[in-house]
Structure 1
Amino acid sequence: METRFLGRVNYAPTFQAMKDFAHQPAPDEREQLWICEHPPVFTLGLAGRPEHVLAPGDIPVVATDRGGQVTYHGPGQVVAYPLIDLQRRGIFVKEYVYRLEEAAIRTLRAFGVTGHRVAGAPGIYVRLADPFSHALLPQRPQRREPGQPAPAPDFTGLGKIAALGIKVSRHRSYHGLALNVAMDLQPFERINPCGYPGLRTVDLASLGVAVSWDEVAHELAGQLQRLLAV
Structure 2
Amino acid sequence: MIKWLARPVDYLPVWQDMQAYTSLRDADTPDEIWLCEHTPVYTLGQAGLPQHVLNPGNIPIVHCDRGGQVTYHGPGQVMAYALFDLRRADMYVKEYVALLESAVIDTLEQAGVRGACRKPGAPGVYVPDPAGGELAKIAALGIKIRNGRAYHGVSLNVAMDLAPFLGINPCGYEGLRTVDMAACGVRRTPTEAGDALALNLARAWQHRRSTI
Instruction: Name stretches of at least 5 consecutive residues in structure 2 with no aligned partner.
Output: none
Cα distance change of structure 1 residues 187 and 13 upon mapping to structure 2, 3 Å threshold: same
Residue of structure 1 equivalent to 2:69: 69
Q: Which residue of 1 aligns with 2:143?
A: 166
Letter of the 2:124 counterpart: G
Q: Give the drift of 1:31.
A: 1.7
Aligned CA distance change for structure 1 residues 90 and 130 (closer, same or farther; 3 Å): farther
Structure 1 segments (4+ residues) deviating >4 Å: 26-29
Q: Aligned with 1:161: secondary structure? A: strand
SS of the counterpart of 2:187?
A: coil
Aligned to 1:15: 15
Identity over the aligned pairs, expressed in percent?
A: 54
Greater gyration radius:
1
1:213 to 172, 190, 193: 190
- Say whether residues 1:204 and 2:203 are aligned partners: no
Q: CA deviation at 1:211?
A: 1.3
Structure 1 alignment gaps of length 5 or more: 132-155
CA-based RMSD of the aligned residues comes to: 1.6
- The equivalent of 2:45 in structure 1 is 45
Q: Which amino acid aligns with 1:77?
A: Q
The one-letter code sitting in structure 2 at the alignment partner of 1:196 is Y
Deviations 1:134-165 (A, max 9, x none): xxxxxxxxxxxxxxxxxxxxxx5111000000
Displacement after TM superposition at 1:90 (Å): 1.5
Residue 119 (1) aligns with residue 149 (2): no
Would the aligned equivalents of 1:129 and 1:157 in 2 still touch at CA under 8 Å?
Answer: no
Quote the Cα distance in structure 2 between the aligned partners of 1:7 and 1:98: 28
1:89, CA displacement in angstroms? 1.1
After superposition, give the CA deviation of every residue in 1:43-69 in whole Å (9 maximum; x if it has no partner): 000121111000111100000000000
The count of aligned residue pairs is 205
